[in-house]
Structure 1
Amino acid sequence: SGPLASQNITFNSGNAGRITLPANFVLSNAYRKLRCRVRDSGVAVSGCSSDQFAVRPASLTVTSTGSADADAAGANTTATPRIRAGANFSLTASSNVVGYNGTPQIDNTKVVAHTSAVQNGVVAGNFASANVANGNSTGNAFQYNEVGYFRLSSFGVFDDTFTAVDSVNNDCASGFAAAGGKNACGFGNISNTAYFGRFIPDHFAVTAGANTPACSTAFTYFGQDGVSTAFSLTAQSVSNTTTQNYTGTYAKLGINTWSNFNFTASPLPPGSVLSASATAPIGTWTNGVANVVAQHIVGRPSAITAPTNITISAAPMDADTVTMPVTAVAPASAFRFGRLFVANSYGSELLALAVPIEAQYWNGLAYQRNQLDSCTLIPANAIQMRNYRANLNACETHLTGAGSVANGVARLNLSKPGAGNSGSVELSVNLNAANGTTCNSASASAASAATTPWFGNINPGARATFGIYKSPVIYLRENFGNFGN
């Protein structure tokens, strides 16, 4: 076949049979193997070089058009397209040189993640052999195991095998730089590529921790705020490796927003609903992992309900719709249907009168004292005092005591009204709304609210009476003195 390129040269006696070509050959195509043929134009004499050589492209350009080209600067944390970590995306290495049919490779030491990334990550996958018609190669099954963006620094995509005919004989310089009068054996992208992405986690994994009841180590009241679930949340790739770059602005699951977790509870009695606590969930994304504590309210049922073990589950979903393959289930928690009970009390006007307030729960058959309750607080100023009768006037007796429930009972006291002040007063606990007046000293003041929605919305009440008696003895006092022999 005819030559790809040719030059005419003239030997003279001073050349001693060896001459250097006056100009380089310029070839527009790439070739794996070429030889040089010299032919005498005067006589039919020709010869071919014993050495072979390659003609390679000068460089490669790496792109990902329409696949992982969300933001060339690698800074936009909401740009699309989005690729799940470990899922397939495409890269194209272009030489635009006809005849190049080599297979580029990726050097993972040249992978550089976006600014502030924890890990550079690894790119897996292979390029196909370049199309000889245009010298371009595409791989459609690359995977990146991290979140965010990555780029390839110079020669991150390279080919050092297309020139094998030269490298085997040391006729090209090893690496990517010319040396010793020889061209480099390898070639690739000569500058940093654009950033490729945006990559997001494939899914979340949850490791359940311990539940903490709102009231004690054993139970929570229906309607009581504060039962908490603790769990570890991990952002993962398709192959279940942790995507450590899911942190900062690249973490799209806001830990402090309760609704992001899509919590559910089961079984819920009729009328009961699961809702967010007044306290937001806590936790921070660090290297793709967040340790979360979320608090909840399991609402008070519409009818009395026996003790129930309820499971709270989570199915977190972030702004990129990353979620979990299955719902995460936490250990079951015990819930009780509660009420407050205040009994009528009576005694001498010369003594302080105990006013026990009992925390109770429905055991399935009846209400009984909730001896596990040592968390409820019934402040004395949340008890309305009204309807004074007989000789007892407002604030001639007043409430004292901390009102802390212990073993199911809060023990408050009415101070002694004194001689001549017999009578009664109606006591009513403001469960959820402030109403009326109370006496915590010799002067009346506005009654507050106990803020205990887990005891319902019907304020319990009773009457305290001074000057009536249960037995023949109304008031007994012993005097001790000295008696003579």
Structure 2
Amino acid sequence: MNRIANRGSLPVSGMWRGASLFLMLLLVAGTANAVTCTSVASQDWNNRNSWSGCNNSQPPTGATVVISSGTTITADSNTNTVADITINAGGTLVGQNNRTISLSGNFTNNGTFTASNGTVALVGTAMQTISGTITFANLTLNNAAGVTISGNVTVTGAFNPGTTPLVITAGSTLTINGVVYTGPCSGVYGAGFCSAPSVASINLASPNPTAGNTAVSWTVVFSQSVTGVDITDFVLVQSGGVGGASITSVTGSGTTYTVTASTGSGTGSLGLNLVDNDTIVNASGTPLGGVGLGNGNFTGQVYTVSACSPPANIPSSVIVSCVCDNFGRTNLNPSPIFNSNWIVSSSDGLGILPYINATSTFLRLTENTNNNAKAATVPGIFPAAGNYISVEFKHYAYNGSGADGVAVTLSDYSVPATPGAFGGSLGYAQRTIAGGGGSDVSGFAGGWIGVALDEYGNYQNPTEGRVGGPGFIAESVGVRGSGSGLTGYNWIGGTATLNPIVDNRGSTTPKPGYSYQVIVDARNAAATAVAVNRDTGAGYTSLVNIPNIYTAATALGFTQAPVPNNWQISFTGSTGGSTNIHEIGGLRICAQTVLPVTGGVASGYSAIDEAYPVAAGSTVPSYQNFQTGHIYMKLPATPFKLWVAALSNTGISSGYSAASAKYAQVKLVDNTVMAGANPVCGLDSARTCNSACTGQPAVETGATQIVTFTKGGPGAALSPSFTLNSSWKNLVAVIQECTSASCNAFTSTAAACSADSLSVRPTSFASVTSAAATNTGTSGTPTLTAGSALFDLTATTTGVAGFASGYTGTPKINSASVQPASPATVAGMLAGAFSAAISGTPSSTASGTSFTYNEVGGFYLLGPDFAVPRIPGVYDDNWTATDSDPTKNDCNSGTTAAAYSNTKDVSGKYGCNFGITANTAVFGRFVPDHFDTAVLPVAGVPMPCPSGQVCPTLYNGFVYAGQAFTTQVIARNQAGFTTQNYAGGYAKAVTLSAWDALGSTVLQNPAGGTLNNPAVSAASFAAGVATTNIPTYTFATAATVPTNIYLRAVDTDNVTSLRVTNPTTTSVEGGVKVASGRIKVSNAYGSELLPLTLMATAQYYTGTGWLNSTTDSVTKLASINAGYSVGTGTSNVTVSPATKVLSLGSLTINLGAPGAAGTVILAPTIDPASPGNPPFAVGTGTIIPGTATFGVYKSKNSYIYRRESY
């Protein structure tokens, strides 16, 4: 404000003297002078006496504020936007009442700041700083220049930083609702703020092994959304014979990127590593791993690169990886297949194991000597169930006398490869004494199928203990099925003698070199197909085709074993009395999934509900279920399990634990914990887990289990039982691979989150109680007024003894379940709401303290009756929102019994909702909020208000003192509606009283009158209304000025028509004007030869005299005879109206000429049938008789009668 101050004289001289003075002062606004306001007293911020240096006011906009030692300033209202605020040591600033302290400068706390429930807002345009140790209830930032945190700052309530840049200095912390951010860091608050991003995983995204000169990809997942990811951030690691590989592209955004590379040429391995150069940053500008080169480095997964490619006859819909071994080296081991070793054995005692022959460069299985029995197993694991596999090799049998042959075996990987009987069984089938074999020799251990290239001809011959077959067929291919020990290995298919034949015994060099292909298509494991093809130079032709090995086996009278989880592939060679050299070359094995002998490495994990069924022909659910499956809602203290799978890029990693058992920890973590504006675990279809999520603890002791993937298992397993004893709104399963069964440490394999979250709800509300509404009877206390009295309700959940409930939801009330308690018959409306529940041990309680009920009596809440249908009176259908979401349907929602069921349905789902399971106790007793009274017009009473009088609005009429009038008493709730249940036992005796004005407490029984018959019995109430027609109001003196009275009703529960708030304007109390009344009959005299007329008139007293009651057309007179004796004559009487009911206050009485002189005294009475029966009577001054005199003069001329005669 600009002011003009004059402490001396302001002279006006010259031409202005003696003239009117017009003075114009131009005040030019400028910048307000900055002031420093220092507190000098412990008072309110807005109290000018709290400050010095403040120009006798509160701190103005732009002021510097100092809270000095020994003073406490309370900001009880919003402040101006000051500049700096400094709280000195010993000083205290208090923010409260949801008020806002605004400043454009720095906030420095060296004393005490008590946040209460207030807000501090930093709204400057230059960089602001918060210094010291400060706890804010609510903090708002709106400064594009930024805010620096220098100290330890905590926000316990709402934090609204907008897009204000934040800088947390080294050694400082900012704690937001329990989440601590430690400096130095900077950026805009949000997901990933003040935490360095990291690499969660670099996993293979293409089939492995792969071929040279092809494109492969890796999926790179970061813990946070990042930018700046490009080719320069990655390096390829080439080993073995791989060379020329290069990164071709990097695509993606957010947390997930794809790196694509060319595999180059040669065989070996190709890996991808990320090399941190600080160019990858999150939204806050924090580089990968934090500031510093190399601290975000990560080693990714590795491809095996093979020079072989798939054969042309692989179905186009099948994507395979291939491994090859051409044996063109000196030593058999290590093999180029996974750089691992062939497993070789011999049972012939010759001391020669399978080896690579230096001359032929092929894998030699037998020499051309007698009684060779040798085997070689491929170094690899080949997933079986759900997989397609093709085994190709070149076969050489030469330089001998034509025996016995070679078999290729696919056996169960979980069973160590041990060859079967040699000779005619070719290392696959059994031999038995009983069958004439001379000794008992078990068949191939774990053998599922054995395909033999039989030169001699006994493989298809049911001799020596072999089961089934057409007989001796030389130079043929035969197929035998599964078996164990001396049982099984049944013949299931084969060829006749082939042309060209299998061997070339006369050749001294490797011959004939035909290619053979064995295909097992177990993509539909329940209908596995087996085929054997041969290429003699013009392409593959079919030798054996078994479309469904199970139906083929059934047709032959035996049962084929189910496809195992994983294959191992072995070659066996045999000679007997006849010989050949047996060799293989050009081995190529192609399958949808191929794994090294060390087992699979999971590219991810998935957890789904135990309710998912196993896939056909498998022991675990399908891959699609693990990709998209959910975890259903659970109940406390109810054990449940989860299916957990190790996944590859194309399916369940069925070879994951092929080599040895593996273990994974599954823990359930709370996903309501927030990281910035989002839940800490950001779920997605890739099931990626950020470090903040994996670092969350399990919510309970029973929320962690170790899943065992048994050796040779299918890559998925059912967990041990979880048991959660508390309720949880949103849980996520975090899966992490352990180094051992005890899970004391984890491997480097990236953790995974379930793709779905789950909730756990209480089984019911055990009770609903009230501390205030405890009167279940029709009388006594406590009482609560209908629609106005606030009362409490508390819903208590069913819990598990010794455990915190965890439920913090908000119960709801089903209004349709509100029922009146007998003898009440009408249900009122229950208004109000529960607050969010508070978790306790073992139950949670949700209370509301502002409930109202708008009827009289008591009420209770019904339990569910789904046949009606009716849901529970108190329920929660929102706690399980993460599962009841219609896009998920992980529990049964709706209003049916299934939606509230604590028993699983056939699909394994519980109801989403819970509530009370039985009727509650009665809550009461509710009484009317107030009465309304009304004076009712009945049969013309009250009578219209006479002219000149002011009568009550209700009713605008009057009665005579002592005249009965009709009064109605209506029981009302707070909103003014009639309480229908105020009757019977809930109705109480009512007493009426008369008052001088509406809502008055000044004068009862005005004008010294008396209200007679004031009692209204309880029994007279019906549906909240009672009517009485006997009250009268009388005065102590017969002539009393007209008086307005207002009828007040009070019952024995002290319910009254006198309203509490503004009673003179809000009370509804019927009124009537009461007037002193009388009947006066006029006098008349005249000739006995003529009739006389008298008037009976109703009158009321005005205070100065009596006026005719011209509005009285209801009073009826009696005691008027039909005739009177007059002297010697008789006077006949007629009245008008003939009914003897006054008209406009009067009745005309006509006396006929008696013919004789005399008098008649007329003193009528009130007919008891007269409405209200006014108590008028002769002798009380309320009936004044009239006299008719016949035979007297009417004037001074002494004539009695005169007439003219013409």
Deviations 1:74-127 (A, max 9, x none): xx6658654333512122322222221222423344542226866663442224
Asked if 2 retains the 8 angstrom alpha-carbon contact of 1:82 and 1:197, the reply is no
Letter in 2 for 1:357: A
Contact 1:216 1:374 in 2 (8 A): no
User: Contact 1:34–1:53 at 8 Å: present in 2 too?
Assistant: yes
Quote the residue 2:929 is aligned against.
203
Question: 1:96 & 1:143 partners in 2: Cα distance?
Answer: 25
Map 1:174-193 → 2, pairs under 5 A? 175=893, 176=899, 177=901, 178=904, 181-184=907-910, 186-189=912-915, 191-193=917-919
Alignment correspondent of 1:322: 1055
CA distance in structure 2 between the aligned counterparts of 1:9 and 1:363, rounded to whole angstroms: 103
2:834 to 108, 126, 141: 126
**Closer/same/farther in 2, CA of residues 121 and 416 from structure 1, 3 Å limit:** same
The one-letter code of the counterpart of 1:83 is L
2:1192 alignment partner in structure 1? 468
Counterpart of 2:861?
151
Q: How does 1:94-109 map to 2 (within 5 A)?
A: 94-97=797-800, 98-109=803-814
Larger RCO (CA under 8 A, 6+ residues apart): 1
Match of 2:784 among 83, 98, 113: 83
Per mean C-alpha deviation after superposition, the further-off stretch among 151-160 and 138-147 is 151-160
Q: Which residue of 2 aligns with 1:264?
A: 995
Between the aligned partners of 1:303 and 1:53, the Cα distance in structure 2 is: 87
Q: Deviations over 1:238-268 (max 9, x none)?
A: xxx35576456489568xx8x5554434586
Change (3 A) 1:49 1:319: farther
1:441 is matched with: none
Structure 1 partner of 2:1095: 356
Match of 1:60 among 758, 762, 765: 765
C-alpha RMSD of matched pairs (Å): 5.2
| Identity, % of aligned positions | 20
Q: Provide the rounded CA distance (Å) in 1 between the counterparts of 2:815 and 2:1165.
A: 69
Looking at structure 2, the residues matched to 38 and 271 of structure 1 have their Cα atoms a distance apart, in angstroms, of 98
Find the residue that maps to 1:149 and give its secondary structure.
strand
The CA distance in 2 between the partners of 1:67 and 1:409, in whole Å, is: 62
- For residue 714 of structure 2, the aligned residue among 4, 9, 16 is 16
| Residue in structure 2 matching 1:273, options 994, 1003, 1010 | 1010
Q: 1:251 to 1:279 in 2, by over 3 A?
A: closer
Matches of 1:243 and 1:452 in 2, distance apart?
A: 35
Can you list the C-alpha shifts for 1:299-352, whole angstroms capped at 9, x where unaligned? 24415334x3x3333444456543332253669765543333334433333443
Decide whether the 8 Å contact of 1:83 with 1:198 is kept in 2. Answer: yes
- Separation in 1 of the partners of 2:1133 and 2:844? 89
Q: Which residue of 1 aligns with 2:1045?
A: 312
Alpha-carbon separation, structure 1, partners of 2:836 and 2:1029: 49
- Contact 2:1110 2:1145 (8 Å CA) reproduced: yes
- d(CA) in 1 for partners of 2:780, 2:818: 16
- Asked if 1:377 is matched to 2:1116, the reply is yes
Aligned-partner Cα distance in 1 for 2:878–2:1158: 107
> Could you list the runs of 5+ residues in structure 2 that have no partner in the other structure?
1-697, 865-870, 894-898, 947-956, 998-1002
Q: 1:332/1:160 Cα in 2 relative to 1: closer, same or farther (>3 Å)?
A: closer
CA contact (8 A) 1:166 1:185 kept: no
Cα distance in 2 between the residues matched to 1:353 and 1:247? 62
Please tell me whether the aligned partners of residues 932 and 972 of structure 2 are also in contact (alpha carbons under 8 angstroms).
no
Per the normalisation by structure 1, the TM-score is 0.67
Amino acid at match of 1:4: G
Paired with 1:31 and 1:330, the residues of 2 have a C-alpha distance of: 56
Structure 1 partner of 2:961: 223
CA distance in 2, matches of 1:275, 1:81: 32
Task: State how many pairs are aligned.
Answer: 440
Name the residue aligned to 2:472: none
Q: Which amino acid in 2 is paired with 1:94? A: T
TM-score (norm 2): 0.31
Equivalent in 702, 706, 709 of residue 4 of structure 1:
702
Deviations 1:198-220 (A, max 9, x none): 26366237598998863444263
Select which of 1009, 1034, 1042 maps to 1:299: 1034
AA partner of residue 313 (structure 1): Y
Check the 8 A contact 2:1098/2:1145 in 1, yes or no.
yes
Q: CA separation of 1:62/1:273 partners in 2, compared to 1, >3 Å: closer, same or farther?
A: same
SS at match of 1:424: strand
What amino acid is the match of 1:126? Answer: F
Name the aligned partner's letter for residue 784 of structure 2.
Answer: I
Report the structure number with the largest CA radius of gyration: 2
Give SS of 1:4's match: helix
Q: Measure, in 2, the Cα distance between the counterparts of 1:368 and 1:155.
A: 69
| Residue 14 of structure 1, CA deviation | 6.0
Deviation at 1:149, TM superposition (A): 1.7
Counterpart Cα distance in 2 of 1:340 and 1:304: 13
Please say which of residues 191-200 and 93-102 is displaced more in the overlay.
Answer: 191-200
SS in 2 for 1:114: strand
CA distance in 2, matches of 1:221, 1:245: 30
Mean Cα displacement is larger for which, 90-99 or 7-16? 7-16
**Distance in 2 between residues matched to 1:132 and 1:476, nearest whole Å:** 113
User: Is 1:214 aligned with 2:942?
Assistant: yes
Counterpart of 1:453 in structure 2 is 1175
Measure, in 2, the Cα distance between the counterparts of 1:383 and 1:270. Answer: 41
